[in-house]
A and B are shown apart, each in its own frame.
Chain A
């Protein structure tokens, strides 16, 4: 959707693969695939809070100032709300990590972190658009404006990658809450 190559389709046509390249046992591919998905999910949850990435406080402060919006009380509160969501996600990840280390095994509830991430990417897009206004609609060439549209365009992918939010909620309903399987 955003033209990046990291999200792609791979065509295989009679490709020869030696048995030494097989991962896991014959017939065990689904379990292997689920494990890689779970790891993708956890690393998505892990990588995206704080640090120097697009969710860093400094970047968002600079965006807001650069857009000339940092004195607007409505924007300041929207900023505070976004910051709350980002910090809560980071704190929760750290608390879950601490509980895991203390022997309270991290159950399937860690998938909540990925749901939080996809929600936060969507919230980030909304905030960016509110702050930049028309500057997200077309590229004037001005630094630090239209480039933020990559957040808006990237957000839908986060809700899908590593298991859709809906599939994760089904899994959590059954495996964490113990609710009966949908019929």
Chain B
């Protein structure tokens, strides 16, 4: 049973939420995402490094890092608050990759010496990190891993191609799955390693940087125990889906706010369009989806934070619900804004792109449904 006190923001969590929301509103306007795409300057590493330092100063990069690794030792509830606000603002930067993927991957690996060596710099905001699992088929699992790992003295060398790597170009540290015969393991690769080529690829989501990563006899260090990647990747997938659900909930709330504002001011036939039931009921449906998204993401975060047995189910419930709810909300957001909602200049398409991308990036809803059936014991 998840404790009731974990389901509502504490005073500290409210403060955290307010400060992140203020900072992103001031320093990360949506216009920057569009301007970046307009200029074609997006090399994949074009995020705002000054803002990243600001986030680090606020302690956001250290939130999920345990105190023994110089972090703040906070739970999924606190990172959930941050992801929700980042989703609301469509924050463009390597936070999901670093805090949503790499930190849980290192912690769950159980490799204390790797954690001690790598996590302090991540927490300080000095090391941007990501996890590279998917290959050509896009699946975030290890069954089809083809990237090869070969022993080289005390270390390893990796060769192969990873796709759909979040912030792969900007990353100082890449955690890469690779295969040595039957064993698929997780390896740490430095961003400046020999034989490593990172190429930004076009991303449907203009606020997300995606890379292809080629490894050619690239030196790497084994993380955790050889052959442990299959179980580890499954756990990491649940953690990133948790972060993504909070982002999706925040995005849905942002879209709803835009639509309500527009429906109150936009006049048609001599009255605000929000007075038409066809519009009003559409907006209530959006409120429904946004509220239930926020609540389910929160519940899953609370289950994770408390180590509750419901977590494996709750996270897939939240992932499936928030993904579909956000997508539907963005579809209706374009519609509610009429023709102006279908212009490049409007923010609607930025959320629409994010929603479709986020729903499919790691696992789609059919996979979530199958996982829920498995996990409740059908």
Smallest CB–CB gap between A105 and chain B, Å?
A: 12
Interface pair B292/A88, CB less than 8 Å apart: yes
Question: Which residues does chain A contribute within 8 Å of B291, judged by CB atoms?
Answer: 92, 109, 112
Q: How far is the CA of A91 from the CA of B260 in the complex (A)?
A: 26
Hey, which bits of chain B sit against chain A, CB under 8 A? 2, 4-9, 260, 263-264, 271-272, 274-277, 280-281, 283-285, 287-288, 291-292, 294-296, 298-300, 313-314, 316-318, 320-321, 365-366, 368-373, 376-378
Also in contact, A77 and B288, with CB within 8 A (given A99-B8, A182-B276, A182-B280): no
Picked from A57, A89, A177, the residue with its CB within 8 Å of the CB of B260 is A177
Chain B, residue nearest A71 (CB) = B378
Q: How far is the CA of A150 from the CA of B280 in the complex (A)?
A: 33
Interface pair B280/A179, CB less than 8 Å apart: yes
User: Can you report 29 A-B residue pairs in the complex whose CB atoms are below 8 A from each other?
Assistant: A57-B376, A61-B378, A76-B378, A78-B369, A79-B372, A80-B369, A80-B371, A83-B317, A83-B376, A88-B292, A88-B321, A91-B295, A91-B317, A92-B292, A95-B7, A95-B298, A95-B299, A96-B295, A98-B6, A101-B8, A102-B8, A104-B8, A172-B284, A173-B280, A177-B287, A179-B263, A180-B264, A180-B271, A182-B277
Interface pair A94/B369, CB less than 8 Å apart: no
Question: Which residues does chain A contribute within 8 Å of B321, judged by CB atoms?
Answer: 84-85, 88
The total of chain A residues at the interface (CB under 8 A) is 46
Chain A, residue nearest B259 (CB) = A177
Question: Which residues does chain B contribute within 8 Å of A70, judged by CB atoms?
Answer: 378
Question: Which residues does chain A contribute within 8 Å of B260, judged by CB atoms?
Answer: 177-179
Interface pair A183/B280, CB less than 8 Å apart: no
Q: How far is the CA of A85 from the CA of B320 in the complex (A)?
A: 10
Chain A, residue nearest B1 (CB) = A94
Chain B, residue nearest A172 (CB) = B284
